[in-house]
Structure 1
Amino acid sequence: MTETTNARVDWLQLWRSGDLARFCFISLGIMLHATNETMVMTVMPAMLREIEGVQYVGWSFAIYEIGSIVAGAATGRLVSFVSLRANLVIAALLFMVGCVVCALATSMQWFLVGRLLEGFGGGGLVALAFVSVERLFSRDIWPQLFAIMSVIWGVSAFSGPMLGALAAEYINWRWAFGVSAVGGLAMAVASLIVLRMRAAGEVAPVAAGKPPAFPFEVLACLAVSVILIAMAGLAIAPLRSSLFLISGLIGIGLVFVLDSRRPESRLFPSRPFNWRSPVGTGMTMIGAFSVATCSFGLYAPLILTQLHGVPLLTSGYIIASESIAWSVLSILVANTRPEREGRVVMLGALMIAGGVVGFAYAVPAGSLPLILFCAILQGGGFGMAWPFVTRMIVDASLPGEKTIASSAVPTMQRMGYAVGAAIAGIIANAGGFAHGLSAETAQGAASWLFIAFLPLAAVGCLAGWKTARG
């Protein structure tokens, strides 16, 4: 591990050692993931004109996140058994295959298969970037490294809508996935060439060749639970939908029960929702806000194009502005003094909640300036709060659970996105999308996709306040 100090980060020495250059290269996997996400959101309206299945929009996002969670859990363990280089190559190839399946999909079912494979690959690439932070660098500069990752994310968020809109409007939406597939192949080839030498902390072979424990039961329970929640929205009926929703939510609770009983393969730290510790309040904040904010990126492009006639490129860049604001604010607050970090976290939480409140009015009304402002507000809040909440959770965790705590943050975030996408699908289909994509159905769903999540946004604010105080 490269030595650093709290007083001054020697970036030149980090670069000369090769650790920083290696980290930047590994983080390019985030570019594939982020570009693909904003690209998919942009091309979704065009895709649904060719492939019917608007009722599965929530599924397309939820199933991607399930794949990402499984890949993240696997990568965190395989990196101690298989080289970083091999992990990157496999993740990039999985991402490429998923993009090819999406590009060739003739039905929404095949598109979902491709999204699952993309999730395996993209989730693995993102997880490897986080693993490299924990293994190669002192925690003193984690906020700065997260800022670098945010820059890469912001650049990717800017390119994704352009790729999607240009392909959809001038060629065909399928070409956008084709370009992403080429990017996955390039990442795999580059990993073979660039990462020839073993890096410090890259591999620590386990004793007697025994692979690390893997949380099969926990991940299976999570996948089934999210699918149950998503199924509640396919054919809206009070009794049927309620049973699926309640069963899915019970399953989500069971995920944490099973996880606590398998310490050798744990995904989350001990007592992850204990509000007497920053671990519990921080994890609650991350989970609540992740669920509460996914409606915007998932359904706003559909609503804006169908209800207000907004061009694909415009709606795509409004979505991307959230990620760009995340990147910019993350950089601006990266060097905040420790005694002020709590205030930054609280301000970030209020900004996120303010964005959800604003969307509830702005998206149905079609006010593009207000929608853009709310997107920047929400994304900036995430950028301000996330790096410091992550460090607070790791600092407050038990001595033997630091690594688990650091990897649990992106896992909880993806889990929140998966659950939020499934619930948003129920709301959208109940509001009218179950009957097809039109201006009338978009109008029926527009407000409730944000109003329904306001209580969770309030929970996120309260948890943020408790975390900041802790």
Structure 2
Amino acid sequence: MTDTATTTSGTWRELLGPKNLGASTVLAGGVALYATNEFLTISLLPSAVAEIGGQRLYAWVTTVYLVASVIAATTVSATLARLGPRWSYLAGLTVFGLGSLMCAVAPTMEFLLAGRTVQGAAGGMIAGLGYAVINSALPQSLWTKASALVSAMWGVGTLLGPAAGGLFAQFGSWRWAFGALVVLTAIITALVPFALPARTREPPRTRDRIPVWSLLLLGFAALAISVAGIPRNIGWTAALLVIGASLVGAFIVVDRRATAAVLPPTAFRPGPLKWIYLTLGMLMAATMVDMYVPYFGQRLAHLVPVAAGFLGVALAIGWTIGEIVSASVTSQRAIVRTVAVAPLVMSGGLMLAAVSQVDDASVGVIAIWVVALLITGVGIGMAWPHLSAWAMGCVDDPGEGGRAAAAINTVQLICGAFGAGLAGVVVNATDAGGATPARWLFAAFAVLAALGVVASIKSGSRTGRSTP
């Protein structure tokens, strides 16, 4: 690696040009559907409960969605190998549309939970396919920019979800929000036959089974971690987090030895892939601080709910800006250094947020919060597209490329669940009123992000030869 080393990279015009626009729209649109739906429901839920009841099941609307998503994400590689990109997407989008329709017509909370489970299963599949199909639908020179585009849809979902949910809820039309998802799903489904290839470019595998044991362990881990933020008793919360962490440890042991596995074998060998996944996971976990931004915006700055919701969008905007700018970098040395410092940038933003949390915050203080969240988002955005491309390109066996790509989404989901659980623990343990829990929350997650710098440095140790 030298100062003048550069990567072969396509342009944004090429990615979004006539030849690749259809594939780019389907890949990005599927992830946008999943992400928007996740945040949309949070805004709609109070209105839904007021109409159909089910207050005792309030937290499970998110829990069942997340657990179903994690489980479905582990089947992406096997499904893609059996059905190919085109039919995998058609199946996932069709089921997602059915789940959205179930939510739209739900007469009871139990029925809504069933619809959310269907949505989560299909959504986890679609989100995983968004990464896994990149190396089949697009040329290698566009992988980094395509990864940036797909990942940026999480930011788009964070922006559109609360806004659209708030508007539908304000006008008493929460059911129509799910109806709109059905229409959008149908539009993307209509593009799939024209945009995606029928088969992958990878060599056919004779045995590609669904990783049942890995799937079960990840599912129960996600369930334990998701529920950990619910109890008010810190002992129960800590116990659930320990159970979740133990199940993830058992997953690693089982997955390493299993014939049908979630992670590619390369992840368990010497090399950067395991560090790439760990960096992705640490950054994703740290972003879950955003769940409490609207809450503290109302509590400390006395913002109205809509304004507090948009305060949390600052992180998503920073993420999107960081992705777009970073994906345009071509110098390999600059890319490696960018990824290496990304956790520290994120940590700096979170620490600025921590020290600026005060009661009765003024407009000036709110502006500091916005800047801090923007910096936090830039931190994850500047690393994400390159880490995603590295994960797809640094496997030992080209046939592992699809599994390596699909595992990105699995790592993202499970680490997001860990982050959500940790956020609940910190807030519940320190909430004595005022700004204290907000300070502890942002400070704890600043430390979590900073710990990722070790993995981020190791991620770029041998990726230069394989980065598209």
Q: What range describes the TM-score normalised by the shorter chain of this pair?
A: 0.7 to 0.9
2:378 to 361, 377, 380: 380
Measure, in 2, the Cα distance between the counterparts of 1:53 and 1:361: 35
State the partner residue of 2:243.
247
State the partner residue of 2:347.
353
TM normalised by structure 2 equals: 0.82
Distance 1:201 1:253, change over 3 A: same
1:305 to 298, 312, 316: 298
Pairing 1:466–2:458 present: yes
State the partner residue of 1:219.
215
Contact 1:68–1:119 under 8 Å retained in 2 = yes
Distance 1:47 1:377, change over 3 A: farther
Pairing 1:406–2:405 present: yes
1:294 to 277, 288, 303: 288
Distance 1:219 1:151, change over 3 A: closer
Measure, in 1, the Cα distance between the counterparts of 2:208 and 2:139: 24
Amino acid in structure 2 at the alignment position of 1:420: G
Deviation sequence 1:91-139 (CA, Å, 0-9, x none): 2233233334444557766554443322222222222222221113343
1:334 to 327, 332, 335: 327
State the partner residue of 2:389.
391
> How far is the alpha carbon of 1:185 from its aligned partner?
3.6
Matches within 5 A, 1:220-299: 220-237=216-233, 240-263=236-259, 265-270=260-265, 272=267, 277-296=271-290, 298-299=291-292
> How far is the alpha carbon of 1:72 from its aligned partner?
2.7
Deviation sequence 1:376-412 (CA, Å, 0-9, x none): 1122112110112233344443235443323222221
SS in 1 for 2:303: coil
Identity of aligned residues (%): 26
Structure 1 regions of 5+ residues with no counterpart?
A: 433-439
Distance 1:356 1:45, change over 3 A: farther
State the partner residue of 2:148.
147
Distance 1:164 1:230, change over 3 A: closer
SS in 1 for 2:312: helix
Measure, in 2, the Cα distance between the counterparts of 1:89 and 1:309: 45
Amino acid in structure 1 at the alignment position of 2:256: S
Contact 1:229–1:248 under 8 Å retained in 2 = yes
Structure 2 regions of 5+ residues with no counterpart?
A: 1-5, 463-468
Matches within 5 A, 1:107-122: 111-122=112-123
- Most deviating of 158-167 and 148-157: 148-157
Distance 1:238 1:165, change over 3 A: closer
Amino acid in structure 1 at the alignment position of 2:415: G
Contact 2:70–2:219 under 8 Å retained in 1 = no
> How far is the alpha carbon of 1:20 from its aligned partner?
4.4
Distance 1:135 1:448, change over 3 A: same
Deviation sequence 1:20-41 (CA, Å, 0-9, x none): 4333234221221232233234
State the partner residue of 1:126.
127
Measure, in 2, the Cα distance between the counterparts of 1:154 and 1:140: 24
Amino acid in structure 1 at the alignment position of 2:457: W
Contact 1:32–1:180 under 8 Å retained in 2 = yes
Contact 1:99–1:177 under 8 Å retained in 2 = yes
> How far is the alpha carbon of 1:259 from its aligned partner?
0.6
State the partner residue of 1:81.
82
Amino acid in structure 1 at the alignment position of 2:453: C
> How far is the alpha carbon of 1:306 from its aligned partner?
4.8
> How far is the alpha carbon of 1:202 from its aligned partner?
4.8
TM normalised by structure 1 equals: 0.81
Deviation sequence 1:218-244 (CA, Å, 0-9, x none): 111111122233444444446544443
- Most deviating of 47-56 and 360-369: 47-56
Contact 1:349–1:381 under 8 Å retained in 2 = yes
Measure, in 2, the Cα distance between the counterparts of 1:309 and 1:353: 26
> How far is the alpha carbon of 1:6 from its aligned partner?
5.5
SS in 2 for 1:82: helix
Deviation sequence 1:204-230 (CA, Å, 0-9, x none): 8968xx873011111111111222334
SS in 1 for 2:328: coil
1:325 to 318, 330, 340: 318
State the partner residue of 2:180.
179
State the partner residue of 2:24.
23
Deviation sequence 1:58-89 (CA, Å, 0-9, x none): x5545433322332332322222224333223
Distance 1:21 1:442, change over 3 A: farther
Deviation sequence 1:247-301 (CA, Å, 0-9, x none): 22111100111111113x2222347477x632232222122222222131x2322
Measure, in 2, the Cα distance between the counterparts of 1:21 and 1:43: 31
Amino acid in structure 1 at the alignment position of 2:242: I
Contact 2:148–2:384 under 8 Å retained in 1 = no
Contact 1:41–1:316 under 8 Å retained in 2 = no
> How far is the alpha carbon of 1:414 from its aligned partner?
1.2
Contact 1:355–1:377 under 8 Å retained in 2 = yes
Measure, in 1, the Cα distance between the counterparts of 2:65 and 2:451: 26
